[in-house]
Amino acid sequence: MATENKNLSDYDKATIPDAKEFRFGIVVSEWNDTITEGLYKGAYDALIDNGVLPTNIIRWDVPGSFELIYGCKKMQEQNVNAVIAIGSVIQGETKHFDFVCEGVTQGIKDLNIISDIPVIFCVLTDNTMQQAIERSGGKHGNKGTEAAIAAIKMAELRNSSRI
């Protein structure tokens, strides 16, 4: 497992760009909400910890992970510096898992190609609920924290690369 020896919540604050002027959109799937709320908390807390004002964080909820694509596309229009897509898809007994995971992954990738506003992929694709718990504030830390740090870094990259 990629997270076996890594805590997703660990970061060196000294290496994080100044984020106090940035605005972030967070689009959260309501499906598996015990997991997505944990991920949101990790992302929100990390943004605040790095100087982002609460008024500069916009949250929208969408029904499921597949709807993250449209929600993020619309969020890119909200004068934000980066968007974080938060979802959780847990393996079931059918191929639905594969279709949702592939669609969301490709959709968010497409948004990053089409738009100048980065979208950070914070969608857990786990085999079990326990794995999701461990990555949304459990023993492996919080993928939401990791996504927020990535969003800050990408917002800074976007900002510094403008002519």
d(CA 2, CA 7): 10
**C-alpha–C-alpha distance, residues 128 and 79, integer Å:** 36
* Residue positions annotated with a catalytic role: 96
In angstroms, rounded to a whole number, what is the distance separating the alpha carbons of residues 74 and 68? 10
Residues 6, 40 contacting (CB under 8 angstroms): no
Q: For residues 5 and 138, is the Cβ–Cβ distance under 8 A?
A: no
Beta strand 24-29 with 136-138: parallel, antiparallel or unpaired? Answer: unpaired
